[in-house]
């Protein structure tokens, strides 16, 4: 188990209904954490593909750094880590 802070930015924030959440997650691997978070806040469709990869235009930051450059989805998380989930594009209305 790991305790983290999650920030939702842009459209992810609107869809999640909150800007920040303090969560205790069952696993400590980034992939598992993301799956748990996106299901809980109903934002899976904007953050993950059907193959459970981060969408090309979505961003997952761990302590301010893109997950792509610090270990990818297999990155181990520690208590106190900060995640940011970003979906930077707005839909046309």
Residue 3: the pLDDT is 97
pLDDT confidence of residue 17 = 94
- Average pLDDT score over residue span 25-30: 92
Residue 90's pLDDT band (boundaries 50, 70, 90)? low
**Residue 44 banded pLDDT, cuts 50, 70, 90:** very high
Read off the pLDDT of residues 54-83 as tens digits, 9 standing for 90 and up. Answer: 999 899 999 999 999 999 999 999 999 999
CA atoms within 13 A on the CB side of 35: 13
Domain of residue 57: give its range. Answer: 2-87
User: Which of 20, 27, 8 lies closest to 76, judged by CA?
Assistant: 27
Is 93 part of a structural domain of the chain?
A: no
Angle at 17 between CA 41 and CA 47, to 5 degrees: 45
- The CATH number of the domain holding residue 24 is 3.10.20.30
Domain count across the chain: 1
């Amino acid at each position: 188990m790991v305790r983290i802070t999650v920030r939702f930015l842009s459209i992810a924030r609107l869809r999640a209904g909150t800007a920040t959440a303090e969560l205790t997650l069952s696993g400590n691997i980034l992939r598992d954490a993301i799956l748990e978070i996106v299901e809980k806040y109903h934002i899976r469709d904007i953050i993950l593909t059907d193959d459970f990869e981060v969408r090309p235009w979505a961003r997952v930051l761990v302590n301010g750094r893109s997950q792509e450059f610090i270990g990818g989805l297999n990155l181990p998380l520690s208590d106190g880590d900060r995640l940011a989930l970003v979906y930077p594009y707005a839909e046309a209305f």
